[in-house]
Amino acid sequence: MKKIILLLFIFLFTGCFNYGELNKMAIVTSIGIDKVKDKYLVSVQVINAKKDNEKGSNITVYTQKGHTIFEALRETTLKSPKKLYGGHMEKLVLSKEVAEDGIINVIDSFERISDIKNEFNIIILENGKAYNLLKILTTSENIPAEYVKHTIDIASKYTSLTYSTKLDEFLSLYLKKGIDPVIPLIKVNNYNKDGSTLENINTSSPISKISTIEKLGLTKNGKLIDYLNKNETIGYNFLKKGKNKTIISLKCDNNNYISLTLSNKTKYKIKKDNNKYFVKYILNISGTVNEYNCDKDLNNKKNLRRIEKKVKKKIDNYLNQTINKQYNSNSKFLGLENIIYLQNYKYNNEKIIVKTNTNVLIKDIGQTNKSLKGAKKDEE
């Protein structure tokens, strides 16, 4: 009898399970938020589970207005035959208006409700309504949410032209002292055309397309206030602690270009001098030549050193642009104060001066030494 009572305890004292059959629930992949007067217009993108041979769109978008996000989400069930399930949400799209009004105002319920996973991407839509973006059907990835997510993730991983921010990262940075999160931006090409019909995916060049912009949104107190341009974005990614990859191209003589893949490791050091803090970034960059159109032989060390110098100059230019932006911006996107705070200094609004030390080394020149043009010239 004792055993049975103990076993009963096991079952009664739990509350972390929630029964639901797969075919009875609608998997929410994206949520978009627009602003209409004083209400939010929440659009929910849901997967249509259909067998391969069935025709039709594989997503459905429901919209609902509400004063709060949760109110709108709950009222969406009026329109959906299945229970909404947010455990696999991939992205939250905010229109520019909402972001400028305050990102932090709309994401409370996503953090609060345990059903919704808090690892989705937060994205700002540069043009138009989030509602229209969610409707767009995409090729090559069946699920539009995955399409956007993968585009941003791959772009941030291999090109450093954007930075993918997840909800939990956003919130942890927002709550920290002296650092503000950044947010990636996307846009819709051919905004005026309707991308919600199957015609959009039955062609090899879809009319309505979603693409990432080489920009980053800067926030202050959870509001979108400014942007980093392309160069500053590259600089921002270089200054982030950790490993990054980017592609760079520059002139190697008067007319021709060289293109390199750079990967870097960034460290920083902090010094205090005369009531001033010095943050010194040390960047160790190694490069691989991917394209080379000049005449000179790359096996020649002198030529390589010359290219390395040029790369260093270009990167320093990027870094300086980013650092200047930081000096002039209200948003603490580089988190300099946070870096100092983490090193156990008692920071009291002293002036911060950022210095960089870039070391460039071209490790790999690819499978040929000379450019094709140069090789031909040597033969003659």
- Least separation in angstroms between residue 170's CB and another protein is 20
d(CA 158, CA 163) in angstroms, rounded, equals 11
**Measured from the CB atom, is 29 or 95 closer to another protein?**
29
**Measured from the CB atom, is 86 or 235 closer to another protein?**
86
**Measured from the CB atom, is 65 or 117 closer to another protein?**
117
- Least separation in angstroms between residue 346's CB and another protein is 42
- Least separation in angstroms between residue 206's CB and another protein is 21
**What pairing do the DSSP bridges indicate for beta strands 25-36 and 39-47?**
antiparallel
Compute the Cα dihedral for 145, 195, 127, 113 and give only its sign.
negative
The footprint of another protein (CB under 8 A) covers 10-11, 14, 16-23, 25, 27, 29, 47, 49-51, 85, 87-88, 90, 117, 143, 146
**Measured from the CB atom, is 21 or 273 closer to another protein?**
21
* Burial bucket for residue 216 (CB in 10 Å: 0-12, 13-18, 19+): buried
Is residue 166 within 8 A of residue 149, CB to CB? The reply is no
d(CA 112, CA 116) in angstroms, rounded, equals 9
Task: Considering only the C-alpha atoms of the chain, give the largest distance between any 2 of them, rounded to a whole number of Å.
Answer: 98
The residue behind tokens 């002039």 is 328
DSSP letter (8 states) at residue 191: T
d(CA 163, CA 129) in angstroms, rounded, equals 22
- Least separation in angstroms between residue 230's CB and another protein is 31
Strand arrangement, sheet containing 351-364: 242-251, 257-273, 276-292, 351-364
**Measured from the CB atom, is 48 or 221 closer to another protein?**
48
**Measured from the CB atom, is 27 or 234 closer to another protein?**
27
- Least separation in angstroms between residue 68's CB and another protein is 24
- Least separation in angstroms between residue 88's CB and another protein is 5
